[in-house]
Amino acid sequence: MEERKKQLETEEKIIQEKEQVVKKEFKEFWQVAIDFIKELFNIRKNSDKEFTRQTILENIPFRGHTAWLLIFSVMIASVGLNANSTPVVIGAMLISPLMGPIMGAGFAIGTNDIDTFKKSAVNFLVMVTLSILTSFVYFKISPLAYESSELLARTSPTFFDVMIAFFGGLAGIVALTKKGFFNVISGVAIATALMPPLCTAGFGLATGNMHFFSGAMYLLLINSFFIALATFLIVKYLHFPVARYLNSVKRRRISRIIYLLAVLVMIPSIMSFLKMYNEEIYKRSATDFIQKNIKYEGSQIIKTHIKPDRQEMDIYLIGEIVPQQVLAEWKNQLHQNPLFVDTRLNIYQTADKTREIEQNLSEKLKGEILEKLFKENKEVLKNKDEQIKRLTDELVKLKQRQIKIPFKQIGRETKNLFPYIEEIGFGKMIQTDFHSSDTIPTLMVKWKSGLSKSYKRRESNKLKKWISTRLQLDTIKLISM
């Protein structure tokens, strides 16, 4: 028994020693991993503070060459936005010297350098004024100053723009603290897009569109503020020497003011982001509903237009006419979804068979048309002569209702007069409001993406008047997409 006890004690001791070895090895491994991670993300070791300071101070002023470079880059960006050319806009952002005053402001706050901050603020105002004035002059004299998609993209900032500006600013100042990484600043200038908002603001002033001006200026404010904030945070993290002693109370007060401003600047962009998010949820749910429920044999969906802001769904059908009871059932199914309680469902149907008639209206098929009409009306008409007369009248009416359009010629004329039309179609549409139906000639127009609602509405009215005169139509409906 004694030997057995000693054996168990020995085995337990061996196990404890092994556990100690494992713990020690694990601790050493964990320490090595932590040291590796620290070394991997350590930017203090290779930072050149004096180089960073000199570079930032040198890029703050807007004088001489820098001022002309700014003007030229603004002109290039304005042309690119006007022509809806993304590569041209990117090229303009590559040569623009806009980052200097913004990073200078963040650096000055981080180092408590009041003189540098004043210098940065003055040059920032000069930069903004000169850029907006240049773009204003361009768009004022440009004969092609229309609301392109590139311009529209700079009028509704979201929380995404906040993140881009902040992380872009971090990338810029981190790169600037190490010699040889200054070329990263060009990439930051492109990512944060400082130039396009200034040009868009000039466009808004030139055209009297205050929505464009305010949206673009807010985007510029977001980009500038969060680039400066990122610079401030990295400068504080790397412990750049301050210009003079700053007591802890004042330091905390400045930090609180900066963070409060950050929150205030972010609030409108967060609201815009939430609105965009809710609209996307609405569109996805609406698309899913249409795919699952809007089905009728012999009828096909050719176009859907979902409008979250107006709580409407426009659905265009072609083929067999859907009965009123089916339309009512679709509407009832839609309103059962809590998301679509107040949504209005608009169904547009067309039974137009103009192309089919053009293909089949031959001498051979005239008899078939007459025969079909004869069979459909034989219970009503008793006299053979009356039958022939009625069938002949029906054929004449059918020919009269058939509108022959020289589409190639009309297409060329339309493209010359309205260059921003992408597609155009014509037909007879049966429209219902669930109480009555009406058949009218309908023109469907698909505009190029990026055009504003006001521009499409204005051009649609011109197109409607021109096509009515061109085709000699008393009544025509235009659907703009």
Q: Which two tokens stand for residue 334?
A: 């839609």
**Mean pLDDT over the full length of the chain:** 75
pLDDT for res 133: 93
Q: What confidence tens digit (pLDDT) does each residue in 221-276 have?
A: 888 888 888 888 888 888 888 766 556 666 667 667 766 766 676 677 677 667 77
Instruction: Check pLDDT > 60 for residue 360.
Output: no
What gap in Å lies between CA 435 and CA 315, rounded to an integer? Answer: 17
Stretch (H or E) spanning 376: helix 363-377
- The pLDDT tens digits of the residues spanning 280-297 come to 888 889 999 998 888 888
Residues 6+ apart with CB under 8 A from 321: 299, 349, 351, 430
Inform me whether the pLDDT recorded for 434 exceeds 70.
Answer: no
Which pLDDT band holds residue 154 (cuts at 50, 70, 90)?
Answer: low
Residue 156: predicted pLDDT: 66
* Average confidence (pLDDT) over 402-422: 70
Q: What is the pLDDT of residue 407?
A: 64
pLDDT of 93-116, one tens digit each? 777 777 888 888 888 888 877 788
- Out of 93-97, 363-367, 422-426, pick the least confident: 363-367
Tell whether the torsion through CA atoms of 85, 86, 89 and 91 is positive or negative. Answer: negative
* pLDDT reported for residue 374: 46
Report which residue type is found at 127: M
8 A C-beta contact, residue 102 and residue 59: no
Taking residues 420-444, report their average pLDDT: 72
By the 8 A CB rule, do 384 and 374 touch?
Answer: no
> With pLDDT > 90 as the criterion, what percentage of the chain qualifies?
2
- Helices 99-111 and 49-58 meet at what angle, rounded to 10? 130
Q: Which residue blocks in 402-479 are alpha helix, DSSP H?
A: 407-417, 453-471
Inform me whether the pLDDT recorded for 365 exceeds 70: no
**Proportion of the chain above pLDDT 70, given as a percent:** 72
Strands 344-350 and 421-432: antiparallel
The answer, yes or no, to whether residue 298 has pLDDT greater than 60, is yes
Q: Kindly state the average pLDDT of the residues 187-216.
A: 80
> What confidence score (pLDDT) does residue 134 get?
92
The per-residue pLDDT for 366 is 45
CA distance 357 to 406: 15
Per-residue pLDDT, 187: 64
Query: Among 33-37, 314-318, 329-333, which is the least confidently predicted range?
Result: 33-37
pLDDT beyond 70 at 405: no
> For the chain, which domains are there?
49-246 (1.20.1080), 404-481 (3.30.70.1350)
The tens digit of pLDDT for each residue in 34-43 reads 777 777 777 7
Structure token pair of residue 352: 């137009």
Q: What is the mean pLDDT of residues 455-467?
A: 80
* Among 77, 68, 125, residue whose Cα is nearest residue 101: 125
Do 481 and 447 touch, CB atoms closer than 8 A?
yes
Sheet holding 421-432, edge to edge: 299-307, 312-319, 344-350, 421-432, 437-447, 477-480
User: Please, which pLDDT band fits residue 121 given cuts at 50, 70 and 90?
Assistant: confident
Q: How far is CA 304 from the centre of its chain?
A: 19
Return the pLDDT at 153.
60
Q: Which residue has the higher pLDDT, 477 or 324?
A: 324
Beta bridge partners of 344: 312
Structure-token match 């004969």, residue found: 143
Q: According to the model, what pLDDT value does residue 221 have?
A: 83
